[in-house]
Amino acid sequence: MKAVEALNLDIEFIIVEPEVENSYFSMVIGRGYIAPSVNFKWCVDRLKILPGRKALLKLVESGETVCQVLGSRSYESTQRASSIQSEYGDDFYGAHVVHGSIRTAAPIKHWTAHNVVTYLVHNPAPYDYSNYHLLNLYGSAAGGMEECPLGAAMQDASEGISSCGGKKSRFGCWSCTEVSEDISLKNLAFGDYPDLEPYYHTRTVFKLT
């Protein structure tokens, strides 16, 4: 937001949040829901999709032309590839599932993770934050930059970072209990970001429920 203001860009930020009764702690502690799991994934709809759709529909109702730009990529998973193909086919734009007047776009849908990192290496961010900080963050989540150093992962000037010995860093909600072990959060908490350790332990408690 500071960068947008400094660049005099006319962009409004709308931060969406779930209704109080649908918030994570209201659901788990207040209403006694079990933590989200593969077989009971209530979190995405209540915490993300519904608040987002509410904001989009409000814009449509006010007469705004709306296009939802997504960072979805076919190479993320077989399931993601199938959904992207179903929604877009060979077209650039797709139609939103909630309201036909809302367009969607996934401009990097054909990019691999290698493409993403290569772009970040060769193109500086248009704001006062180096992309190398972002790359170091992902490196730390994958086990530490000592094990996955930026320089060692660069193959040549035209290539980006490899998967560093097959290790992958995953970022999502800190409280996510769908995965058996949040390796990224653990590596960060017990590595370069010790302030995250309480979140790791709290997630462990939620996982046990």
Instruction: Tell whether 69 is covered by a domain.
Output: yes
Given a contact cutoff of 8 angstroms between Cβ atoms, the answer to whether 174 and 203 are in contact is: yes
pLDDT tens string 70-86:
999 998 889 899 999 99
The per-residue pLDDT for 74 is 93
Structure tokens at 6: 């400094």
Instruction: Tell whether 51 is covered by a domain.
Output: no
Share of the chain above pLDDT 70, in %: 86
Instruction: Tell whether 99 is covered by a domain.
Output: yes
Instruction: Tell whether 135 is covered by a domain.
Output: no
Instruction: Tell whether 73 is covered by a domain.
Output: yes
User: Taking the model in full, what pTM does it have?
Assistant: 0.73
pLDDT tens string 17-51:
999 999 999 999 999 999 888 888 899 999 999 99
Given a contact cutoff of 8 angstroms between Cβ atoms, the answer to whether 56 and 80 are in contact is: no
Question: What is the Rg, in whole angstroms, of the alpha carbon atoms belonging to the chain?
Answer: 19
The per-residue pLDDT for 158 is 41
Q: Give the chain's domain count.
A: 1
Q: Looking at per-residue confidence, does 55 or 77 come out higher? A: 55
Instruction: Tell whether 175 is covered by a domain.
Output: no
Does residue 162 have a pLDDT over 60? no
In one letter, which amino acid is 44? V
**Structural domain boundaries, residue 77:** 65-111
Place of tokens 């993403």: 116
